[in-house]
Amino acid sequence: MNPVMEVKSLVKQFGNFTAVNGIDLILHGGVCLGLLGPNGAGKTTTIEILEGIAKPTSGSVLFNGQPMGKAFKDTAGIMFQSTALQEFITVRETLELFARLYPKSAPIPQLVEKCALSDFMDRDTRRLSGGQRQRLLLAIALINDPSILFLDEPTTGLDPQSRRNFWELIQDIKQQNKTVLLTTHYMEEAYVLCDEIAIMDHGEIIARGTPKQLLAQHFNSMILQLPATGVDTGKLSASIQFLQRNNEIEIESRDINATLQVLLAHNINLEHLKIRSHTLDDLFLKLTGHELRA
């Protein structure tokens, strides 16, 4: 696959603070790359540089092998993390406004159908619900029929139904072989939508690969979950390592049979035992730690 975007030694500093610390990244055509990381990891700064909105302190960004010029805006679709729309104009007028800003635009009726906007086309943008607003912002990002699409936390603040509805829209866009760069806090979203993920922390990319590759690379164990009620955790800790969360015990195990033997030896009731694989949530916490980020 040809790289659509190549990022080399990208650095962005704000005074003495380094938000992006020399990252390298290759984005292949038709791939959806998820950029994950805790708050303040440098995701939004990175994506804004790749969008051409912010300038890097140093490093280079090549689009189709060339430095990003003015023509890049014609072929890129962008959905920002938080964007206000011009007030006192309708959804239809907003789409028409943005359509006229590009040399060529996608047919508005198709966008309306694809993003399910038809029910509120004549509604003032101030009176849209969260889900309607995000769908309109996605339609605006698609209005120039972009070859590359940037989605910065597109489902933040949406209810589960709206989020899943939004995922379907993005899945549909992916079918059109568009290149997508997505940032998100939702690991499930990254798992469902992204062909590859890159995890950022402290301005650096600390892991990169497909979700399955990364999980296989960082975990070769399963997780056993038990209710903590009735378990003598003091005695159990002498025999096995475990993590207690709320009223539940989590045991990471590479040998399920051996672990079950230990539990039975402690006369622990296994009626409510659950065994699961590691998820991206586990990977995220393993790589970025458990401490709260501002």
Partner 1 sequence: MSIKRFYAVLKARNYEFIRDKSALGWNFLFPIFIVAGFAFAFSDSNIDVYKVGVYGESSQAADDSHPFFNTRHINFVAVDNLEKAIVKVERHQLDMLFDLEQRRYWINNQSPSGYILERVLSGSPPHSGDTPKAGPAASMHSQLQDHLQFQKTQVSGEEIRYIDWLLPGVLAMNIMFSALFGVGYVIVRYRKNGVLKRLKATPLSAGEFLCAQVISRLGLVMSITIIVFIGTSLLLDIPMYGSYLNLFLIFVLGSISMISVGLLIAARTASEEFAGGILNLLSWPMMFLSGVWFSLEGIHPWLQKLALIFPLTHLINGARAIMLDGAGFVDIIPYLATLTFMSALLLAIGAYTFRWQ
Max intra-chain CA distance, the chain? 73
d(CA 153, CA 40): 13
Under rule CB under 8 A, residue 76 binds partner 1? yes
Under rule CB under 8 A, residue 101 binds partner 1? yes
Under rule CB under 8 A, residue 87 binds partner 1? yes
Helix (H) or strand (E) holding 274: strand 274-276
Nearer to partner 1, 98 or 242 (CB): 98
- Total residues contacting partner 1 (rule CB under 8 A)? 27
Among 11, 21, 30, 93, binds partner 1 (CB under 8 A): 93
Q: Is 246 helix (H, G, I), strand (E, B) or coil?
A: coil
Among 70, 235, 245, 290, binds partner 1 (CB under 8 A): 70
- Shortest distance (Å) from residue 9 CB to partner 1: 24
Helix (H) or strand (E) holding 66: strand 66-67
Q: Which of residues 132-171 bind partner 1 (CB under 8 A)?
A: 140
Q: Which of residues 50-69 bind partner 1 (CB under 8 A)?
A: 51-53
The DSSP 8-state label assigned to residue 278 in this structure reads: -
Nearer to partner 1, 102 or 167 (CB): 102
CA distances from 264 to 158, 247, 258, 270, 272 (A): 44, 20, 10, 8, 13
| Per-residue mark of binding to partner 1, 203-232 (x: CB under 8 A) | ------------------------------
Helix (H) or strand (E) holding 134: helix 130-141
Contact between 79 and 154 (Cβ < 8 Å): yes
Contact between 167 and 192 (Cβ < 8 Å): yes
Among 84, 238, 292, 294, binds partner 1 (CB under 8 A): 84
Residues at the contact surface with partner 1, assessed by CB under 8 A: 51-53, 70, 73-74, 76, 78, 80, 82-89, 93-94, 96-98, 100-103, 140
